[in-house]
Amino acid sequence: MLICHGPKGRKWFNRPNGILDHWFPSDELHPDSYAIEILYGNSDRSSRRLIPADAWFDRRSAQRYELFEQTIKISNQEILTILVFKDSEMLEEHS
């Protein structure tokens, strides 16, 4: 999943085929996400890191999963984050 954020929250996102509609990213960056450090910090990019899925999704079931997050600053006001779903259970209907 690819997500674009600015200081006022999520601007857009692209959910690839295979990711169920109920995995809808939160409007605001979670304080525990590494992406917030890139948007408001001095670094231009983060390395790929494991993070709890509930830092990105408001779904109750998100707390059971982890995903990989990697962010790059594309301007002073925008970042792009790639989320890679680690657990195949996140891609199943019952999630």
Cβ contacts of 52-61, under 8 Å, gap ≥ 24: 53/90, 54/30, 55/30, 56/3, 56/25, 56/26, 56/30, 56/83, 57/23, 57/24, 57/25, 57/26, 58/24, 58/26, 59/22, 59/23, 59/95, 61/95
| Tens digit of each residue's pLDDT (9 = 90 or more) over 60-72 | 889 999 999 999 9
| Tens digit of each residue's pLDDT (9 = 90 or more) over 9-18 | 999 999 998 8
Residues of the chain with pLDDT under 70: 93-95
Residue-level pLDDT at 94: 60
